[in-house]
């Protein structure tokens, strides 16, 4: 792995591998399921890590920690031991299979540790209102993937219910949590809440495949044109990145790989391309321009996939307060 290829999550993965099992486990204890999944997946995929790469990564975090590197051990065994130390034997047991799955989470919270297809299988026979509440509880990208595994005929109804959901009484949410607990053999203790609504529906649709998004939005428009417009006004698409300030764009570019950016920009308008170029070094901008001109045609689905990956990073940075996103309707997404 060349030094210049290590960015974002891969850099964090190298850093944790270099820290050693005990320290890495201490760090992972403070992360949520999505972060553990991302970093764990990156750790599992790392191969041929050069000394130069380790020096670069460790230098960017805390200087040099060569004496504590754990890169020489078997990767699978390292990850197994580290996740067990961080999460306990039961939860780590499932994560060994797919990094993410946690068998000791509680009620609805456990769904965040599950594969999206498994969630869909679990809830597909429930009432659409129950499905809407469950999807509203998940992170938007996980909810979008789960929606894709649900029957096509059910998707528009579920999204309509999410968009018109105006919170859930704590007692009702607790009851649903207890149902999930029984099905998943977990324990319950839920607090609140204020879930659902137009913004949640928009966030989920931001992550679904374009073909699914189109069908769902067409049917929502037929049922309620005003609601459909509200959802569209809240959606944040790739070209909306032009509304992010220069500092935010620079922060985003530090997290995005060159290959992803090159693919995503093939479907961007000229204004956004120029904004990206403006926030890169002159040499990097020139190289990217040349690569775009010389690039072979790419599948639209691949371009859209790269754009959604970048939007996922943008939302993560927005959630942590590192950048501010402007929504399609001028509202700020937080």
Pick the CATH number of 108-234 from 3.90.1150.10, 1.10.220.30, 3.40.50.2300, 3.40.50.300: 1.10.220.30
Answer yes or no: same fold for 3-104 and 238-333: yes
Amino acid 279: pLDDT: 92
Class of domain 3-104: mainly alpha
Q: Given its phi and psi angles, is residue 241 left (phi above 0), alpha (psi -120 to 50 degrees) or beta? A: alpha
Domain boundaries 238-333, corresponding CATH code: 1.10.220.30
Residue in the block written with tokens 């965040």 = 112
What φ, ψ does residue 10 adopt, rounded to 5°?
-60, -40
Report the percent of the chain where pLDDT is more than 70. 72
Say whether 326 sits in a helix, a strand or coil. strand
- Taking only the tens of pLDDT, the chain with its 334 residues reads 444 456 677 778 877 777 777 777 777 777 777 777 777 777 777 766 776 776 666 656 544 333 344 444 455 566 666 666 665 665 555 455 444 333 334 567 777 777 888 888 888 888 888 888 888 888 888 888 899 899 988 999 999 999 988 777 767 777 777 777 766 654 334 333 456 788 888 888 877 777 788 888 888 888 888 888 888 877 777 888 888 889 899 999 999 988 889 999 987 888 999 999 999 999 999 999 999 988 888 888 888 888 888 888 887 887 777 887 754 433 333 3
Amino acid 76: pLDDT: 55
Q: In angstroms, how far is the first alpha carbon of the chain from the final one? A: 35
Residues ≥6 apart with Cβ < 8 Å to 32:
112
Amino acid 226: pLDDT: 87
Burial annotation 197-212 (CB, 10 A radius, 16+ → b, else e): bbbbbbbbbbbbbeeb
Residue in the block written with tokens 């324990």 = 187
Residue in the block written with tokens 């946690």 = 102
Residue in the block written with tokens 């609504």 = 197
Going from N- to C-terminal start, the domains of the chain cover 3-104, 108-234, 238-333
Amino acid 147: pLDDT: 92
Amino acid 122: pLDDT: 85
Global pTM? 0.45
């Amino acid at each position: 792995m060349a030094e210049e290829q290590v960015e974002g999550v891969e850099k964090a993965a190298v850093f944790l591998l270099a820290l050693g099992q005990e320290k890495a486990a201490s760090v992972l204890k403070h992360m949520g399921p999505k972060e553990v999944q991302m970093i764990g997946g990156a750790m599992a995929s790392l191969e041929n890590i050069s000394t130069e790469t380790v020096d670069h990564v460790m230098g960017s975090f805390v200087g040099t920690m060569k004496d504590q590197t754990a890169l020489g051990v078997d990767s699978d065994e390292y990850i197994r031991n580290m996740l067990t130390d961080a999460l306990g034997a039961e939860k780590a047991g499932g994560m060994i299979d797919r990094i993410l799955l946690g068998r000791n989470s509680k009620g609805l919270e456990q769904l965040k540790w599950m594969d999206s297809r498994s969630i869909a299988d679990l809830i597909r026979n429930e009432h659409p209102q129950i499905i809407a509440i469950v999807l509203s509880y998940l992170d938007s990208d996980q909810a979008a993937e789960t929606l894709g595994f649900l029957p096509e005929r059910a998707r528009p109804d579920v999204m309509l219910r999410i968009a018109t959901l105006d919170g859930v009484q704590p007692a009702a949410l607790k009851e649903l949590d207890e149902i999930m607990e029984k099905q998943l053999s977990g324990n319950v203790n839920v607090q609140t809440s204020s879930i659902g609504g137009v913004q949640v529906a928009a966030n989920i649709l931001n992550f679904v495949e374009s073909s699914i998004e189109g069908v769902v939005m067409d049917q929502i428009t037929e049922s309620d044109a005003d609601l459909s417009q509200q959802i569209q006004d809240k959606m944040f698409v790739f070209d909306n990145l032009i509304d992010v300030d220069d500092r935010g764009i620079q922060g985003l570019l530090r997290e995005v790989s060159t290959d992803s950016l090159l693919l995503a920009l093939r479907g961007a308008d000229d204004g956004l391309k120029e904004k990206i170029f403006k926030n890169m070094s002159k040499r990097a901008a020139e190289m990217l321009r040349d690569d775009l001109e010389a690039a072979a045609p790419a599948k639209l689905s691949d371009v859209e996939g790269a754009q959604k990956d970048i939007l996922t990073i943008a939302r993560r940075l927005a959630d942590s307060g590192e950048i501010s996103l402007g929504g399609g309707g001028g509202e700020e997404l937080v």
